[in-house]
Amino acid sequence: MAGTIVIRCWNWPPATRSSRPTRALKLNVKRGNLAKFEEGKIVPSQYRPFTRQWLYFDRVLNERVYQWPRITGRVIWVKTGAEWPFFALASGVICDRLPQGGSQCFPLSHLKDSALVQFRQHYSNDSITKEDVFHYLYGLLHHPDYRARYAANLKRELPRIPFAPDFAALAAAGRELAHLHVEYESLDPWPLEFVENKDVPYSERVTKMKLSADRLSLKVNESLTLAGIPAEAFEYRLGSRSALEWVVDQYQVKGESDPNREDDPGYIVRLAGQVVRVSVETARIVRALPSCR
> Is residue 14 pLDDT above 60, yes or no?
no
Kind of pairing between the strands at 217-221 and 94-95: unpaired
Find the angle CA(270)-CA(189)-CA(220) to the nearest 5 degrees. 40
Across residues 71-93, what is the average pLDDT? Answer: 89
Kind of pairing between the strands at 5-6 and 51-56: parallel
Across residues 15-41, what is the average pLDDT? Answer: 73
- What is the rounded CA–CA span in Å between residue 96 and residue 81? 15
Across residues 100-126, what is the average pLDDT? Answer: 93
Query: Distances from the Cα of 28 to the Cαs of 10, 33, 56, 61, in angstroms?
Result: 12, 5, 17, 9
- pLDDT, the chain, mean: 89
Across residues 139-150, what is the average pLDDT? Answer: 94
Q: What are phi and psi of 42, to 5 degrees?
A: -85, 110
Across residues 81-94, what is the average pLDDT? Answer: 88
- What is the rounded CA–CA span in Å between residue 93 and residue 43? 8
Residue 90: CB atoms within 10 Å: 24
Interval 154-211: pLDDT, tens: 888 888 899 999 999 999 999 999 999 999 999 999 999 999 999 999 999 999 999 9
Confidence of residue 1 (pLDDT cuts 50, 70, 90): low
Across residues 139-151, what is the average pLDDT? Answer: 94
pLDDT score recorded for residue 64: 75
Across residues 64-77, what is the average pLDDT? Answer: 88
Pick the closest to residue 248 from 213, 214, 272 (CA basis). Answer: 272
Q: What percent of the chain has pLDDT over 70?
A: 92
pLDDT score recorded for residue 58: 86
Long-range contacts of 63-70 (CB under 8 A, 24+ apart): 63/10, 63/11, 63/12, 63/22, 63/23, 63/24, 63/25, 64/11, 64/12, 64/13, 64/97, 65/12, 67/107, 67/110, 68/94
Find the angle CA(138)-CA(238)-CA(76) to the nearest 5 degrees. 30
Interval 33-69: pLDDT, tens: 888 889 999 999 999 999 999 998 888 888 778 788 8
Query: Distances from the Cα of 116 to the Cαs of 18, 27, 119, 293, in angstroms?
Result: 41, 42, 5, 20
Interval 221-254: pLDDT, tens: 999 999 999 999 999 999 889 999 999 999 999 9
Confidence of residue 9 (pLDDT cuts 50, 70, 90): very low
What's the chain's length in residues? 293
Give percent helix, percent strand, percent coil of the chain, each to the nearest 5.
Answer: 35, 20, 45
pLDDT score recorded for residue 208: 97
Confidence of residue 20 (pLDDT cuts 50, 70, 90): low
pLDDT score recorded for residue 18: 46
End-to-end CA gap in the chain? 41
Across residues 135-150, what is the average pLDDT? Answer: 95
> Is residue 113 pLDDT above 50, yes or no?
yes
pLDDT score recorded for residue 155: 81
Q: Is 66 helix (H, G, I), strand (E, B) or coil?
A: coil
Residue 202: CB atoms within 10 Å: 11
Pick the closest to residue 209 from 245, 241, 257 (CA basis). Answer: 245
